[in-house]
Amino acid sequence: MASAAERMKALRERRRALGLREIRLVVPDVNSEAFRREVARQVASLDPVDEEEAMRWIEDVGEFYEKDAPG
């Protein structure tokens, strides 16, 4: 039987033949206390006026796309 490394190599080769490529993502641990503190810090620094304007724009654009969406 082939080793794990050989099986993975064969899998990657099959995927590449299909036009696919493996990628790996490293993302923050959202359960980390440090991450949660940083999110809280960034949220606290937001300007409520700017955020209200952004939300209004998102709602306006969303309504525009809902009307013209296919289906």
What is the pLDDT at residue 62? 86
What is the pLDDT at residue 3? 95
What is the pLDDT at residue 63? 78
- The domain tally of the chain equals 1
Q: Are 10 and 2 in contact (CB under 8 A)?
A: yes
Phi-psi region of 19 (alpha: psi -120 to 50; beta: other; left: phi over 0): left
pLDDT digits (tens, 9 = 90+) for 15-71: 999 999 889 999 999 999 999 999 999 999 999 999 999 999 999 998 777 666 665
- Give CA torsion, residues 60, 65, 68, 71, to 10 deg: -140
Domain boundaries, position 24: 4-68
Q: Please state the pTM of the whole predicted model.
A: 0.50
